[in-house]
């Protein structure tokens, strides 16, 4: 511990076990982790905050479990770094709860249930409140258990209602001699006039309910997970670290770099707190004509056979390339093509080549795409989980 101040590494949204169009991101996640560990050691931090969505799914694969366990072990057991973690909406709160009481013996704190959030981790300088993702129903169950009247319990309707109550109880635990740090996993937006205000506690952003920053103004600092870019941070002391890696083509298009924050409880937050995490294998987005893509002058300047490519072919005329195996030809030049698309309007009808390489798709994704092609709808979150678990079983775990 630093004694009178505290230096924390803030990361979030690791989503261990996530795939991109069937390509495992585990190696990329391990590569990012090595950098997180190196930054932690170089900066001599007092602890690592992981603000939720440790796994990508409630019932992660055994590979994901083994990987996360190894990462935590390397940080906490091998390098004696305290960990302050919470579960996010992607994690299975009750599953991830297993073993947490033993982890505390080594300064590894992980909260996954609302009940656990009201006792802060006490350091000489600060109180760390670890508030996992929860929903209004969790709050109703908790407050009913605590003896709240049925009437009042029923009035907990939105996440704003729930969060107001939870924070009120957390504020009761404040030690005025210390800094107060919150680690949590929600969508939080500024309470600004350009957002459609729906209540004192929540706003609607693009139709989705988000919490207002004003709810959290008693904290010295709030470390967030949930949104994958740090540019969504609603204020200078309420920040998203973003995810350590790019998870999809949309994120790759934005061209914003990934990283983490180093937060010193004695310093005013600023842009220098950000430390970049470099990709091992980057995701390169190309939107070019077929002729350009096949032009050696163009592709010799690309990181071919090293990074991954998401390619959209502009103005592609399928009638001129009836016998061309588009994907095979591009892969021969570029290496791994994780996504292939066409920007001409009638692509659905003229495209005889699958937009994804079916051999590279996971079984789960084959089902997803089949469903989408038949029904025109995407699988719901629940349906995806269901499909995933069928294949977990079929793989014979």
Interface mask toward its own copies for 105-134; x: CB under 8 A: xx-x--------------------------
Size of the site for its own copies (CB under 8 A): 32
Query: Residue 76 is encoded by which pair of tokens?
Result: 């906490």
Q: How far is the CB of 387 from its own copies (least distance, A)?
A: 9
- Smaller CB separation from its own copies, 49 or 96: 96
Are the beta carbons of 93 and 126 closer than 8 angstroms?
Answer: no
Kindly tell me which of 98 and 231 has the beta carbon lying closer to its own copies: 98
The C-alpha atoms of residue 285 and residue 231 are separated, in whole angstroms, by 21
User: Cβ closer to its own copies: 324 or 363?
Assistant: 363
Cα(214)–Cα(191) distance, rounded to whole angstroms? Answer: 7
> Quick one: 47 or 259, whose CB is closer to its own copies?
47
| Residue from 27, 38, 41, 69 in contact with its own copies (CB under 8 A) | 69
Residue span binding its own copies (CB under 8 A) among the ranges 71-79, 157-165, 290-298, 304-312: 71-79
Distance CA 12, CA 179 (A): 21
Task: Tell me: does residue 386 bind its own copies (CB under 8 A).
Answer: yes
According to the binding rule CB under 8 A, does residue 135 interact with its own copies? no
Per-residue binding string, its own copies, 27-66, x by CB under 8 A, is -------------------------------xx--x--xx
Rounded distance, CA 209 to CA 162, Å? Answer: 13
Alpha-carbon torsion, ordered 188, 190, 192, 194, to 10 deg: -60
Map the footprint of its own copies across residues 147-206, applying CB under 8 A. none
Return the residue of 5, 30, 95, 360 that touches its own copies, per CB under 8 A.
Answer: 95
Which of 2, 24, 103, 280 contacts its own copies by CB under 8 A? 103
Coil, strand or helix: which one is 111? strand
In eight-state DSSP terms, residue 276 is E
Among 94, 145, 250, 267, binds its own copies (CB under 8 A): 94
Say which residue the tokens 């030690």 belong to.
Answer: 175
Helix (H, G, I), strand (E, B) or coil at 186: coil
Asked if 6 contacts 125 with a C-beta cutoff of 8 angstroms, the reply is yes
Minimum Å gap between C-beta 103 and its own copies is 5
| DSSP track, 70-106 | HHHIIIIIIS---EEEE--TTS-HHHHTTTHHHHGGG
Report the residue number, 125 or 364, with the smaller CB distance to its own copies. Answer: 364
Measured distance CA(382)–CA(75) in Å, rounded: 33
Residue with tokens 């709160």: 93
By CB under 8 A, which span of 101-109, 154-162, 192-200, 327-335 interacts with its own copies?
A: 101-109
Structure tokens at 269: 């937050």
Angle at 43 between CA 41 and CA 45, to 5 degrees: 75
Nearer to its own copies, 74 or 307 (CB): 74
* 26 lies in the site for its own copies, by CB under 8 A: no
Binding interface with its own copies (CB under 8 A): 58-59, 62, 65-66, 68-69, 73, 76-77, 92, 94-95, 97-99, 101-103, 105-106, 108, 382, 385-386, 389-390, 392-394, 396-397
């Amino acid at each position: 511990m630093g004694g009178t101040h505290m230096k924390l590494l803030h990361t979030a949204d690791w989503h261990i076990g996530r795939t991109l169009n069937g390509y495992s991101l585990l190696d990329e996640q391990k590569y990012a982790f090595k950098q997180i560990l190196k930054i932690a050691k170089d900066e001599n931090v007092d602890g690592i905050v992981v603000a939720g969505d440790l796994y990508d799914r409630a019932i992660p694969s055994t590979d994901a479990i083994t990987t996360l366990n190894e990462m935590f072990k390397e940080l906490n057991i091998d390098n004696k770094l305290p960990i302050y973690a919470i579960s996010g909406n992607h994690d299975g709160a009750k599953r991830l709860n297993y073993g947490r009481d033993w982890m505390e013996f080594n300064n590894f704190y992980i909260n996954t249930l609302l009940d656990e959030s009201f006792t802060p981790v006490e350091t000489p300088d600060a109180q760390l409140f670890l508030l996992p993702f929860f929903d209004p129903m969790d709050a109703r169950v908790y407050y009913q258990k605590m003896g709240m009247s049925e009437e009042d319990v029923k009035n907990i309707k939105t996440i704003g209602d729930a969060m107001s109550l939870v924070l009120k109880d957390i504020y009761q635990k404040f030690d005025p001699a210390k800094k107060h740090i919150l680690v949590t996993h929600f969508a939080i937006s500024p309470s600004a006039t350009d957002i459609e205000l729906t209540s004192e506690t929540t706003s609607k952003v693009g139709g989705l309910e988000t919490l207002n920053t004003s709810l959290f103004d008693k904290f010295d600092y709030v470390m967030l997970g949930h949104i994958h870019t740090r540019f969504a941070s609603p204020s200078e002391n309420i920040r998203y670290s973003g995810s350590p890696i790019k998870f999809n083509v949309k994120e790759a298009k934005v061209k914003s770099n990934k990283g983490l924050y180093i937060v010193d409880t004695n310093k005013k937050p600023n842009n220098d707190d950000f430390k970049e995490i470099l990709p091992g294998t980057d995701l390169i987005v190309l939107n070019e004509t077929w002729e350009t893509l096949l032009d050696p002058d163009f592709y010799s300047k690309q990181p071919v056979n090293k990074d991954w490519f998401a390619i959209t072919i502009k103005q592609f005329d399928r009638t001129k390339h009836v016998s061309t195996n588009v994907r095979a030809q591009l892969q021969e030049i570029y290496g791994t093509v994780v996504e292939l698309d066409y920007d001409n309007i009638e692509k659905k009808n003229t495209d005889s080549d699958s937009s994804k390489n079916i051999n590279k798709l996971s079984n789960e994704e084959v089902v997803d795409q089949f469903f989408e092609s038949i029904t025109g709808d995407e699988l719901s979150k629940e349906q995806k989980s269901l499909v995933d678990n069928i294949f977990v079983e079929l793989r014979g775990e």
